[in-house]
């Protein structure tokens, strides 16, 4: 891979991840449907995962696994720590989404609507 | 010394997931096991705190990976003090809610205690871990159990309060993850001591961006001003003892994470003034909101936010004296506010709206609970023979030694506001006539013991503050001395590689 392509890819990943975060934030903050808010939160999570992966990428990188024939290629391995972080963050994001959806079910039973403007027993 | 730091996290997590299994065989164990586990943790943590106060900090490496690479747990005078305080509060909450209603079903009790154990495990983890990503994971464990506990009662608006909390919590945890990504991309490490050691390598722009994202991420647990919108609703809709757990456990963990950032990780010169400013804004906004509330728990929630503002002001003074005062305030708040929540939840036990006007004249009908509430109210506003007086006095002397007259004036004015709204409630309890449609609820014996323990601690610290001040001095020295923290953590790694 030549230098130019690498730089384009690198900035593409970073820019794309920031774009995803912004799209998710827009959805979470402006949409009035509870389900759409949760989708927005998941998109923010996805953007951050991409950002972390982008940080750990190195030029001409290979998977950070020691396997036969690749014993001496540690210099080219991508950084494994962000990948471990992303795996953990995915699991956490899954748990939060599950809790959020179960709360939405409870809210729907209670109010018979998913519109956040109509669920106003408390001050927002 | 009993046990080790890792057990303080591993045992409650294990217990949380074993409870449903053992509960299938013996139902009573669901209520008993958490108490036994918390009692063991309390003994273990207290003995380790005694050890670290007289000897050196305990540092535990996990899975044999040395300090900058692996995760390590740091049990220092500061973290040990906070961990012990939280475990003690967890024990009190367990004691209070052991059979919180007469015939509570097996299912709700099981869920309640599972989440309580996870809450304590997560909060202790936040405090004693030495790795920022590990701290993020523990913050998430704490938050998820807090969301679930907020939504515990199906009858109330609890799902709404919980969703609100979850929305803010989820966005702020994203901010925290971005901050961690910035730090890792610049310094290539996640270990707190290592970050603090290499922080000078980071360009100032990145530093400030990371600090802002960290504040957004952690401020929600620490209840600082723009991020505390969840707190009044969550405190109101959650069960009474969970309000106590939020005030005593979750918020303390948030404050710790915040001050660890400002004091140890980032060496930005003006961050102390920043702490003072956000502390004062939080304090003033919360106390003026508290005076307008007509629901008891909501008023207590705003008061809790205000107290956290005062803690940040005291930390922001920046001297060892200021840190001592802030830690003393945290200790007092962790004892007094749970007492107010626990006794207050019995005062408005049978009412639907939980209004302050419904406590009228209960002083004659539930004398001990009312007396304990009044004791808590007197202590938190800082009347002389009670523990709150000493912490407020130490804040004022610390500010006076630095010549911060404005802080002294504001803190005194806010204290007057506090006196107004707390004494309004106490006045109603004792000098108003009870209305006929209010049903009195006698506290159960275990709840009474829990409240009496907290009340007697307030009196003991009030009459003899010296019994805690040695630990507080050690803890404030520990927080101020960044170099020692870094050397302690990193030297372990070096000695293992040799």
Find which of A92, A107, A108, A114 to mutate to test the B interface (most B CBs within 10 Å of its CB): A92
Task: Confirm or reject contact between A106 and chain B (CB < 8 A).
Answer: yes
pLDDT for the residue numbered B187: 87
Asked if the model's pLDDT at residue A10 lies above 90, the reply is no
Quickly tell me which residue has 């405190």 as its tokens: B235
A121/B160 CB distance under 8 A: yes
Share of chain A above pLDDT 90, in %: 39
pLDDT for the residue numbered A6: 81
* CB-nearest partner of B140 from A82, A92, A103: A92
pLDDT for the residue numbered B497: 42
As a whole number of angstroms, the distance between CA B73 and CA B488 comes to: 12
Q: Residue range B348-373: average pLDDT?
A: 81
Task: Confirm or reject contact between A104 and chain B (CB < 8 A).
Answer: yes
Find which of B143, B152, B163 to mutate to test the A interface (most A CBs within 10 Å of its CB): B163
Task: Confirm or reject contact between A44 and chain B (CB < 8 A).
Answer: yes
Asked if the model's pLDDT at residue B367 lies above 50, the reply is yes
Q: How far is CA A110 from CA A33, A37, B160, B234, B383, in A?
A: 16, 19, 10, 18, 45
- Give the model's confidence band at A122: pLDDT under 50 very low, under 70 low, under 90 confident, else very high: low
Asked if the model's pLDDT at residue B387 lies above 80, the reply is yes
Partners of A21 on chain B (C-beta within 8 Å) are 174, 178
Tell me how many degrees the CA angle B188-B192-B198 measures, rounded to the nearest 5.
55
Q: Residue range A104-113: average pLDDT?
A: 86
Tokens of A12: 């593409």
B166/A96 CB distance under 8 A: yes
Partners of B162 on chain A (C-beta within 8 Å) are 103
Q: What is the pLDDT of residues B312-327, one digit of tens each?
A: 999 888 888 889 999 9
Q: Residue range A33-59: average pLDDT?
A: 88
Q: What is the pLDDT of residues B263-275, one digit of tens each?
A: 888 877 777 888 8
Q: How far is CA A96 from CA A50, B5, B322, in A?
A: 19, 27, 37
- SS3 state at B425: helix
Find how far residue B232's CA is from the centre of its chain. 15
Tokens of A96: 């939060």
A92/B170 CB distance under 8 A: no
- Contact yes or no for B342/B240 (Cβ under 8 A): yes
- Contact yes or no for B221/B142 (Cβ under 8 A): yes
- SS3 state at A123: coil
- Give the model's confidence band at B495: pLDDT under 50 very low, under 70 low, under 90 confident, else very high: very low
Asked if the model's pLDDT at residue B89 lies above 70, the reply is yes
pLDDT for the residue numbered B348: 82
Task: Confirm or reject contact between A50 and chain B (CB < 8 A).
Answer: no
pLDDT for the residue numbered A81: 84
B160/A21 CB distance under 8 A: no
Q: Which positions 7-26 of A are in contact with B (Cβ < 8 Å)?
A: 21, 25
As a whole number of angstroms, the distance between CA B384 and CA B254 comes to: 29
Q: Residue range A68-88: average pLDDT?
A: 76
Among chain A residues, CA nearest to B234: A122
Find which of B70, B154, B159, B179 to mutate to test the A interface (most A CBs within 10 Å of its CB): B159
- Give the model's confidence band at A1: pLDDT under 50 very low, under 70 low, under 90 confident, else very high: low
- SS3 state at B284: helix
Q: What is the pLDDT of residues B200-249, one digit of tens each?
A: 888 888 888 998 899 888 888 888 877 888 888 888 888 888 889 998 89
Range with lowest mean pLDDT among B66-70, B86-90, B337-341: B66-70
A44/B174 CB distance under 8 A: yes
* CB-nearest partner of B181 from A55, A103, A119: A55
* Tally of helices (H runs) and strands (E runs) in chain A: 3, 0
Closest CA to B300 of B243, B251, B222, B249: B243
As a whole number of angstroms, the distance between CA B20 and CA B406 comes to: 54
As a whole number of angstroms, the distance between CA B498 and CA B495 comes to: 6
Partners of B174 on chain A (C-beta within 8 Å) are 21, 41, 44-45, 48
Closest CA to B448 of B116, B98, B109, B38: B98
- Give the model's confidence band at A55: pLDDT under 50 very low, under 70 low, under 90 confident, else very high: confident
* Residue B272: Cβ-neighbour burial (10 angstroms; 0-12, 13-18, 19+): middle
Among chain B residues, CA nearest to A44: B174
Q: How far is CA B306 from CA B222, B281, B376, B453, in A?
A: 11, 9, 16, 25
Q: Provide ipTM, 2 decimals.
A: 0.89
Partners of B151 on chain A (C-beta within 8 Å) are 103, 106
Distance between terminal CA atoms of chain A? 52
As a whole number of angstroms, the distance between CA B30 and CA B56 comes to: 38
Which has the higher per-residue pLDDT, B422 or A66? Answer: B422
Which has the higher per-residue pLDDT, B445 or B63? Answer: B445
Asked if the model's pLDDT at residue B466 lies above 80, the reply is yes
pLDDT for the residue numbered B439: 76
Which has the higher per-residue pLDDT, B100 or A88? Answer: A88
- Helix axes of B77-97 and B251-260: crossing angle, nearest 10 degrees: 170
Closest CA to B231 of B299, B136, B175: B299
B171/A44 CB distance under 8 A: yes
How far off is chain A from B137, nearest CA to CA, in Å? 8
- Give the model's confidence band at B444: pLDDT under 50 very low, under 70 low, under 90 confident, else very high: confident
A96/B173 CB distance under 8 A: yes
Q: Residue range A32-56: average pLDDT?
A: 90
Partners of B133 on chain A (C-beta within 8 Å) are 85, 88
CATH topology of domain A3-118: Helix Hairpins (1.10.287)
* CB-nearest partner of B185 from A55, A95, A119: A55
Size of chain A in residues: 124
Q: What is the pLDDT of residues B101-113, one digit of tens each?
A: 554 566 778 888 8
- Give the model's confidence band at B161: pLDDT under 50 very low, under 70 low, under 90 confident, else very high: confident
Partners of B295 on chain A (C-beta within 8 Å) are none
Asked if the model's pLDDT at residue A69 lies above 80, the reply is no
Other C-beta atoms closer than 10 Å to the C-beta of B409 total: 11
Longest pairwise C-alpha distance within chain A: 64
- How confident is the prediction for chain B on average, in pLDDT? 86
How far off is chain A from B216, nearest CA to CA, in Å? 14
* CB-nearest partner of A99 from B148, B164, B185: B148
Among chain A residues, CA nearest to B185: A55
Partners of A124 on chain B (C-beta within 8 Å) are 164, 229
* Residue B51: Cβ-neighbour burial (10 angstroms; 0-12, 13-18, 19+): middle
A96/B140 CB distance under 8 A: yes
Element housing A68 (H / E): none
* CB-nearest partner of A106 from B159, B173, B181: B159
As a whole number of angstroms, the distance between CA B146 and CA B157 comes to: 16
């Amino acid at each position: 891979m030549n230098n130019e392509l690498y730089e384009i890819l690198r900035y593409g990943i970073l820019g794309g991840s920031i774009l995803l975060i912004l799209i998710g934030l827009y959805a979470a903050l402006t949409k009035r449907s509870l389900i759409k808010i949760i989708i927005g939160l998941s998109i923010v999570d996805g953007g951050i995962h991409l950002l972390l992966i982008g940080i750990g990428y190195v030029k001409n990188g290979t998977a950070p696994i020691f396997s036969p024939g690749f014993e001496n290629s540690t210099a080219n391995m991508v950084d494994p720590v962000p990948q471990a972080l992303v795996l953990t963050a995915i699991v956490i994001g899954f748990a939060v989404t599950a809790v959020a959806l179960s709360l939405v079910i409870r809210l729907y039973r209670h109010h018979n609507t998913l519109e956040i403007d109509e669920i106003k027993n408390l001050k927002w | 010394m009993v046990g080790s730091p890792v057990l303080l996290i591993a045992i409650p997590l294990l217990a949380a997931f074993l409870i449903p299994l053992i509960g299938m065989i013996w139902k009573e164990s669901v209520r008993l096991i958490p108490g036994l586990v918390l009692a063991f943790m309390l003994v273990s943590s207290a003995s380790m705190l005694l050890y670290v106060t007289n000897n050196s900090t305990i540092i535990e490496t996990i899975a044999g990976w040395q300090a900058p690479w692996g995760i390590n747990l740091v049990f220092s005078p500061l973290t040990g003090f906070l961990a012990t305080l939280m475990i003690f509060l967890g024990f009190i909450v367990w004691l209070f809610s052991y059979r919180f209603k007469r015939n509570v079903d097996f299912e709700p009790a099981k869920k309640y205690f599972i989440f309580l154990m996870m809450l304590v495990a997560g909060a202790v983890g936040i405090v004693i871990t030495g790795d920022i990503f590990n701290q993020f994971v523990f913050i998430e464990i704490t938050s998820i159990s807090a969301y679930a506990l907020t939504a515990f009662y199906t009858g109330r608006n609890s799902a709404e309060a919980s969703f609100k909390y979850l929305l803010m919590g989820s966005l702020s945890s994203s901010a925290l993850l971005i901050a961690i990504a910035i730090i890792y991309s610049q310094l290539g490490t996640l270990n707190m001591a290592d970050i603090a050691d290499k922080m000078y390598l980071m360009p100032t722009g990145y530093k400030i961006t990371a600090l802002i994202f960290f504040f957004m991420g952690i401020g929600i647990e620490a209840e600082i001003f723009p991020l505390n919108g969840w707190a009044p609703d969550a405190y109101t809709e959650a069960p009474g003892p969970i309000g106590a757990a939020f005030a005593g456990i979750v918020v303390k963990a948030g404050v710790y994470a915040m001050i660890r950032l400002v004091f140890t990780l980032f060496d930005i010169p003006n961050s102390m003034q920043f702490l003072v400013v956000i502390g004062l804004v939080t304090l003033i906004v919360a106390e003026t909101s508290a005076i307008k509330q007509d629901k008891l728990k909501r008023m207590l929630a705003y008061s809790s936010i205000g107290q956290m503002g005062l803690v940040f002001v005291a930390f922001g003074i920046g001297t060892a004296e200021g840190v001592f005062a802030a830690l003393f305030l945290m200790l007092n708040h962790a004892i007094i506010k749970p007492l107010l929540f626990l006794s207050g939840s019995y005062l408005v036990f049978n009412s639907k709206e939980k209004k302050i006007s419904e406590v009228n004249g209960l002083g004659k009908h539930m004398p001990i609970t009312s007396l304990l509430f009044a004791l808590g109210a007197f202590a938190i506003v800082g009347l002389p023979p009670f523990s709150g007086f000493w912490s407020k006095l130490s804040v004022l002397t610390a500010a006076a030694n630095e010549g911060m007259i404005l802080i002294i004036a504001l803190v005194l004015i806010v204290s007057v506001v506090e006196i107004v709204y707390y004494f309004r409630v106490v006045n109603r309890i004792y000098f108003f006539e009870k209305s006929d449609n209010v049903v009195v609820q006698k506290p159960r014996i275990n709840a009474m013991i829990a409240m009496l323990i907290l009340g007697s601690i307030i009196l003991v610290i009030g009459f003899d503050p010296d019994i805690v001040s040695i630990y507080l001095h050690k803890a404030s020295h520990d927080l101020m001395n960044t170099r020692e923290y870094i050397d302690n953590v990193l030297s372990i790694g070096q000695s293992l590689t040799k």
